[in-house]
Amino acid sequence: MATSGGLNTGSLAGASSRRKTESMALKSYKPTTPGQRGLVLIDRSELWKGRPVKSLTEGLTKHGGRNNTGRITMRRKGGGAKRLYRIVDFRRTKHDMSAVVARIEYDPNRTAFIALIQYEDGEQNYILAPQRLAIGDKVVSGPKVDIKPGNAMPFSGMPIGTIVHNIELKPGKGGQIARAAGTYAQFVGRDGGYAQIRLSSGELRLVRQECMATVGAVSNPDNSNQNYGKAGRMRHKGIRPSVRGVVMNPIDHPHGGGEGRTSGGRHPVTPWGKPTKGARTRNKNKASSKLIIRSRHAKKKGR
């Protein structure tokens, strides 16, 4: 039997039918089984319980972490529950036509919730649901629109200090930055034809002022506070077990072998000898480096 947990993001008592997405609480369980001991999940009771819009979905083929040549390029992937991919509008190119939020839905392909919006001409789309967006709210995109959660506009028409998500890196390509649950960036200044944004990681970077961004922070901020309780829940998500290199044999991993328990050596590396656990692997000559004003690692230099 589920009981409301102590990490609620908002009181559910006396809430109206137009519940806000940020009032989603964490749900803790009584330890009636070993898998429920310590289990803490997101309470998704306020989300849409039916199936997604069929015209906005497509089949999703599993790859098990393998590329087009069949080689594993991302380890510890495989299996998991079958998914339908929801086609999300990251571009928001339908300008100056308002749309009504029909419902908020769960999306198995991402940590954030998605919102189904219906335009005045009847067209439907899925967008990333920001916090404080409720059923019945109106959203619009355009060069100059109100600063309300869910509205999208280029940085050229946005006041400095705005909290945004779903940020484009190239005009017209669609949002790429701040799309995960609870993430956001802040528009902190203008520099020539560029906008300065501060990301959640602490990075300060430039993007063109023609790039679109959506007002508000992404929904489901409590996603990182979940405790899945058992390994099987991670297998349902398609995440396989992770074996430490120090418990392997020397043939299997650079950290392997040795008498008794060993820490893995002075320099932690991957199975292929590349430095890991915090070592910088970014190419210094990468083209986008000139757009990064302050690295996300800058705050750690004083340690």
So what's the pLDDT on residue 186? Answer: 97
Confidence grade of residue 265 (pLDDT, cut at 50, 70, 90): confident
Q: What is the pLDDT of residues 139-174, one digit of tens each?
A: 999 999 999 999 999 999 999 999 999 999 999 999
The total number of residues shown for the chain amounts to 303
Name residues whose C-beta falls within 8 Å of residue 178's C-beta, 6 or more positions apart in sequence: 164, 165, 166, 167, 184, 185, 199, 200, 218
User: Is 16's pLDDT higher than 60?
Assistant: no
Residue given tokens 């308002």 in the structure block: 98
Range from 22-31, 39-48, 88-97, 238-247 carrying the lowest mean pLDDT? 22-31
Question: Does a structural domain hold residue 301?
Answer: no
Comparing 6-10, 151-155, 259-263, 287-291, which segment has the lowest mean pLDDT?
6-10
Total count of domains within the chain = 2
* Region of poorest pLDDT, from 86-95, 210-219, 290-299: 290-299
Question: How much is the pLDDT for 298?
Answer: 83
Identify the weakest region by mean pLDDT among 8-17, 22-31, 46-55, 172-181: 8-17
Are 74 and 107 in the same domain? yes
Residues 29 and 128 in one domain: yes
Same domain, 79 and 140: yes
Tokens read off for 183? 């993430």
Look at residue 303 and tell me whether its pLDDT is greater than 90: no
Assess if residue 217 is contained within a domain. Answer: yes
Residue 107, CA atoms < 13 Å, CB-side half-sphere: 26
Span 247-270, average pLDDT: 89
pLDDT reading at 97 higher than 90: yes
pLDDT at 5 over 50: no
Q: What is the mean pLDDT of residues 120-141?
A: 96
Same domain? For 95 and 200 the reply is: yes
Residues 213 and 270 in one domain: no
The reply to whether 45 falls in a domain is yes
CA distance 50 to 222: 23
Structure tokens at 104: 């908020």
Query: With 50 as the cut, is the pLDDT of residue 10 above it?
Result: no
Please report, for the domain that includes residue 260, its CATH number. Answer: 4.10.950.10
Query: Is 173 within a domain?
Result: yes
Does position 3 have pLDDT exceeding 60, yes or no? no
- Can you read off the two tokens belonging to residue 168? 């484009």
pLDDT confidence bin for 260, thresholds 50/70/90: confident
Look at residue 299 and tell me if it is in a domain: no
Look at residue 17 in the predicted model and tell me its pLDDT: 36
Sheet containing strand 138-139, edge to edge, reads 124-128, 114-119, 99-105, 138-139
Q: What is the C-alpha to C-alpha distance for residues 87 and 251, in angstroms, rounded to an integer?
A: 44
Q: Scanning the structure block, which residue is given the tokens 């906008």? A: 195
Mean predicted lDDT score pLDDT of the chain: 90
Give the pLDDT mean for 120-144.
Answer: 96
Element (H, E) at 235: helix 231-236
- What is the structure's pLDDT at 9? 35
Let me know whether 40 and 188 are in one domain: yes
pLDDT grade for 238, boundaries at 50, 70 and 90: very high
Q: What is the CATH number of the domain that holds 138?
A: 2.40.50.140
128 contacts 107 by C-beta, under 8 angstroms: no
**Whole-angstrom distance, CA of residue 147 vs CA of residue 162:** 8
Please compute the mean of the pLDDT values over residues 191-202 and round it to a whole number. Answer: 94
* Inter-residue contact 264 to 246 (CB < 8 Å): yes
Contact 92, 117 (CB under 8 A): no
Backbone φ and ψ of 243, nearest 5°: -100, 130
Q: Is residue 228 part of a domain?
A: no
List, in sequence order, every residue forming a beta bridge with 197; answer none if it has no partner.
187, 205
Q: Is residue 105, in this structure, part of any structural domain at all?
A: yes
pLDDT of residue 282: 86
Whether residue 184 is found in the same domain as residue 260? no
Query: Do residue 193 and residue 72 come from a single domain?
Result: yes
Q: Which of 144, 145, 82, 138 is nearest to 115 (CA)?
A: 138
Query: Do 181 and 114 reside in the same domain of the chain?
Result: yes
**CA-wise closest residue to 202 among 218, 221, 185, 216:** 185
Residue 218 CB contacts under 8 Å (≥ 6 apart), including other chains:
112, 128, 129, 130, 131, 165, 166, 178, 179, 180, 181, 182, 183, 184
**What per-residue confidence (pLDDT) applies to 297?**
87
Q: Exposure of 303 by Cβ count < 10 A (0-12 exposed, 13-18 middle, 19+ buried)? A: exposed
Assess if residue 234 is contained within a domain.
Answer: no
207 and 60 fall within a common domain: yes
Per-residue pLDDT at 4: 41
**Angle CA(94)–CA(95)–CA(97) in degrees, nearest 5?**
85
Domain that holds residue 60: 2-223
- Domain end among 223, 254, 282: 223
Same domain, 143 and 187: yes
Sequence-ordered list of residues with C-beta below 8 angstroms from that of 44, at least 6 positions apart, any chain: 24, 106
State residue 300's pLDDT score.
62
- Residues 155 and 65 both lie in one domain: yes
